[in-house]
Chain A
Amino acid sequence: MTGSPLDLSVAFSVGPVAVSEPVVITWGIIVFLGLGSWLLTRRMEARAGTGQAVLELVVGALDDQIRAAVGHDPARFRTLVGTLFLFILTANWSSLVPGIEPPTAHLETDAALAGIVFAATIWFGITSRGLGGYLRGFAEPSWVMLPLNLVEQITRTFSLMVRLFGNVMSGVFVVGIVLSLAGLLVPIPLMALDLLTGAVQAYIFATLALVFIASAVSDGRPTPPTGKETS
């Protein structure tokens, strides 16, 4: 990427609808993750093999993170947070494939992700506390905070979007510039650094989404563990 980071390449058009490259790449990522999940989970056994053990370790760590943030059953939030993390990580690392630009390096993808987090925050907040309870949460700790809390809902969603977009786009942009100036092997350290940045950004995005959801479902008081969790 050496042009404007806000430019989108159209992969193909279906009538008046232009399908951009990030969408196509995202489809590829969906197929990759879906097939990989199916292959890894089609023969689950109580006596776990190596692949299954790694999967259980990842899901277990994810559940621990959710339990630490929310304080109770992680099953409600596991799919959303886990999907965000895996998708962003896979999308960020997709830059390792020659000719592929990460979808997260484009603002539309990050905006879609942030929008989903925004909607999920509202959904979990209302389903957990009720509409009145959720709305009263904006007036806490006092009514004076109502405008600020409302603005915060928007700004932190923009923050999520811009943070992910800026970090991933900048990494891809720098690697593209160095590659065009220096040669084939020079940007490799920058690409390794980009891998680390991509993993960190995936973790940050998922953790922030979790924190936003946790703040929406909690009424300011610590939630005791239920003791019985569902899958």
Chain B
Amino acid sequence: MGFDWITLAFQAVNVLILLAILRHFLFRPVARIIAERQAAIARTLDEAEKARAAAAKAGEDARAEAERTAAARHDALARARAEAEAQAATILEAARDEAEKIKAAAREEARAEQRRAEAEQLARTGALALDLAERLMQSLPEDRRVAGYAARLAQVLASLPADRRRALFDSETPQLIAPRPLGPAEAAEVQAALAPYFATTPPVSVDPGLIAGLELRGRHGSIGNSLRHDLTRIAQVARNEG
């Protein structure tokens, strides 16, 4: 019984040895792995935070891009709408112009048709008038078809300027056209009427188409002095006025 100092020393050394062993084989490895795990967790958290920030930034970028796309779409739609409206207005204007042109052409054609119809009507009317005049003249005495026309022909010749008259009948003697052969009195009357203007009496040709009257015809021109000529002029004036 007593206190064993040798055992005390042994046990103190033993505990110190155990302390070194546990430090090397237990506490350091465990503390190191805990520290490594904490560092890994910290790194993971940092990376997660970075990833979250990157995701948030990507989300912001995506939202901004979507807004830009929406704005661009809105602008494109507005432009397309404006262009479509302008194009529609242009097309409408062109269609309206085309319609106006078609209407004008139709009106012009209608007027031309009307003029043609009126001309035909006038022609028919003139022909009818000629026919009526011819029938009326045929029902009158034969001397009425020439009487008075010689004086009228002399008046026309007198009314023509001298140069015009020379241009019409220079260097030739025109033919005198009558609706029937002239009687001696009628030929004398004609000769008397034309004597101031022609050296020789113009030869007489018969053209029943004159209906009534006396006309002079040369190579350069003629003087219309007949009922047919009058009716033709009336019809022409009527056509021109129509």
Chain A residues near B16 (CB, 8 Å)?
116
Name the distance in Å between A205's Cβ and chain B's nearest Cβ: 12
A17 to B11, CA, bound (A): 14
A124 to B17, CA, bound (A): 19
Residue of B with least CB distance to A78: B27
CB interface residues, B 117-147, toward A, < 8 Å: none
Query: B18 in the interface, Cβ–Cβ < 8 Å?
Result: yes
Residue of B with least CB distance to A38: B25
Assign chain B's interface to a size class.
Answer: 35 or more
Give the secondary structure class of A's interface: helix
Contact with A along B22-35 (1 / 0, CB 8 A): 11011111111111
Chain A residues near B14 (CB, 8 Å)?
23, 26-27, 30, 112
Name the distance in Å between A35's Cβ and chain B's nearest Cβ: 9
Contact B23 A79 (CB under 8 A): yes
Most chain B CB within a 10 A radius of its CB, from A63, A78, A103: A78
Contact A59 B11 (CB under 8 A): no
Contact B11 A22 (CB under 8 A): yes
A41 to B31, CA, bound (A): 11
Chain A residues near B33 (CB, 8 Å)?
44-46, 48, 52, 56
Q: Which B residues form the contact surface with A (CB < 8 A)?
A: 1-12, 14-19, 21-23, 25-37, 40
Q: Which A residues form the contact surface with B (CB < 8 A)?
A: 4, 6-8, 17-20, 22-23, 26-27, 29-30, 33-34, 37-38, 40-41, 44-46, 48, 52, 55-56, 59-60, 63, 75, 78-80, 82-84, 86-87, 103, 106-109, 111-113, 115-116, 231
